Amino acid sequence: MTGPLEGVVVVDLSRVLAGPHAAMMLGDLGARVIKVEAEGGDETRQWGPPFAGDDRVSTYFLACNRNKESITLDLKSDRGRDVLTRLVRHADVVVENFRTGVLDRLGFPVERLHELNPGLVILSITGFGHDGPEGGRPGYDAIMQGEAGIMSVTGPPGRPSKTGLSICDVLAGMNGAYGVVAALYERTRTGRGAVVRTSLLASAVGAHAYQGSRWTVAGDVPESLGNDHPSIAPYGTFRCADGEIQIGVANEGLWRRFAPLVGLDPDDARFATVPDRTARRAELSAEIEKALSAEPRATWLARLDEAGIPAGSIRSIDEVYAWEQTRSQGLVVEVDHPQLGPIELPGPPLRFDDAPPREHTAPPLLGQHTERVLAWLDEVEG
């Protein structure tokens, strides 16, 4: 693997999405990622439909395990613990998302891991945090979207909804990966490893942004507003003659260019300021849609683009992956899967100027690289 983390060895003990996503991001950056699976494999190998191919390969598993090798170990056996011990000695990073205390019971508490390898960076991802009054609770993404307030500000008014993406898991993976990179950088100065901790709860609350400060500073409890923005108008979904588009008029300059396009006076006292427009959102939206209803979406998107007004289509997932802009950004990668052949996967979100395009490897079959990894251990220890 080539990339900024070339030469870094990651032992991925995690399962499902948050931990595997973090490890995949490190693999995208060039690290060697060795995914350690139980004999039955990561449970997401069985999650579906949809499955792909005659061998029923889980598309869920494919989404978060590219650029990895897979070995199978029974960590409750002497042999499994021995192999993991060897891996830890030669690793730079260990990623785990066991429930609090599980790794300790397997014989690998933090103290033992750092005894084996003082320079080891340990990423631990939990549901609610590793400590605190509810630190031991298991946490799946949908549970956390409710517990961490995301559902309360998502969906139609009065109908709490989860997002269509596993946003808490993915954010926890991203936060974990950047924490690992920071700890690796710190190690260049100190020579010591570190423990990086994040959780689905921390990642969700950390993403509250203005919805959080709305409460902590202003004492205002946010509520769901559908596709509208709580502090800006017009900003959301609007109906044209043949469907809906998104429009975002986020400042005064945009408003003064946008208003005449839909037949409004930008100095109309009803809508003169952002607070005025937000307070009269329903009235403003009705005025806008009266104008938009006269023309199709394509016409309005062209006019808005010409005026420099942020606006966009509402694309289905298949349309996103067919969109040339998506492909131009490297957001679709092709890999050669040992069972499925050439397949396309969602690609990494980072690009580095002047770096050559890298080749990605397919998510591995269960235990596909066990012998290779064991041979590598023999070589580095020999």
**Domains of the chain (ranges, CATH numbers):** 9-207+323-381 (3.40.50.10540), 235-315 (3.30.1540.10)
What is the pLDDT, as a whole number, of residue 358? 85
Bridge partners of 245, per DSSP, are 238
3-state DSSP call for residue 236? strand
- The whole-angstrom separation of Cα 259 and Cα 244 is 18
pLDDT in tens, 215-245: 999 999 999 999 999 999 999 999 999 999 9
- The whole-angstrom separation of Cα 288 and Cα 329 is 33
Provide DSSP, 12-59.
E---TTHHHHHHHHHHHTT-EEEEEE-TT--GGGG--S-EETTTTEEH
Task: Enter the tokens of residue 198.
Answer: 């994040």
What is the pLDDT, as a whole number, of residue 1? 62
Across all residues in the chain, what is the average pLDDT?
96
- The whole-angstrom separation of Cα 159 and Cα 197 is 33
- The whole-angstrom separation of Cα 382 and Cα 380 is 6
Helices (H), the chain: 18-28, 59-63, 78-89, 102-105, 110-116, 141-147, 167-190, 200-206, 210-216, 252-261, 274-279, 281-292, 297-306, 317-322, 324-328, 370-381
The answer to whether the Cα torsion of 135, 136, 137, 140 is positive or negative is positive
pLDDT in tens, 39-68: 999 999 999 999 999 989 999 999 999 999
Q: Which residues are catalytic?
A: 169
Q: Give pLDDT tens digits along the chain (382 positions).
A: 689 999 999 999 999 999 999 999 999 999 999 999 999 999 999 999 999 999 899 999 999 999 999 999 999 999 999 999 999 999 999 999 999 889 999 999 999 999 999 999 999 999 999 999 999 898 899 999 999 999 999 999 999 999 999 999 999 999 999 999 999 999 999 999 999 999 999 999 999 999 999 999 999 999 999 999 999 999 999 999 999 999 999 999 999 999 999 999 999 999 999 999 999 999 999 999 999 999 999 999 999 999 999 999 999 999 999 999 999 999 999 999 999 999 999 999 999 998 888 899 999 999 999 999 999 999 999 8
For the chain, what is the radius of gyration of the CA atoms? 25
Contact 176, 198 (CB under 8 A): yes
Residue 1 CA from chain centroid, whole number: 22
Query: pTM of the predicted model, to two decimals?
Result: 0.94
